[in-house]
Amino acid sequence: MILVDSLFITIGKRRWCHMVSDTDLEELHSFAKKLGLKREWFQDKKVPHYDITENKRRQAIALGAKEAKSRQELLGLLYDYVNYKEK
C-alpha cells in the first residue's frame, strides 16, 4: 500500500510531505513514476521514501494512495516495514 503523510514541512513557497510503501520498493517506484517523479528523487534512507509537494500528495490520493490518519499511524507502519526489512 502507498501511504502519504500530512507532516508538512514548508521550504520556500512549497509544502512537502512523504510518500512511502508498506510493502516494497518496486511498488513505491512504480507509483512515483505514475506521479511523474524522477527516480533520482528517491530518498534511500533508513525509511525509504519520496518527498512530495502538497499538489503531488493530492494527485497520489486520487490515484489510490492512503492518507495516514496520524503521525503515530505513519510511524507505526514505517517501523514495521523497517524491522521487517532488517530481518
Those residues whose C-beta lies under 8 Å from the C-beta of residue 80, and which sit 6 or more positions away, are: 22
Split into its structural domains, the chain has a count of 1
pTM: 0.79
Average pLDDT, the chain: 85
Between 8 and 4, the more confident residue is 4
- Asked if pLDDT for residue 87 goes beyond 50, the answer is no
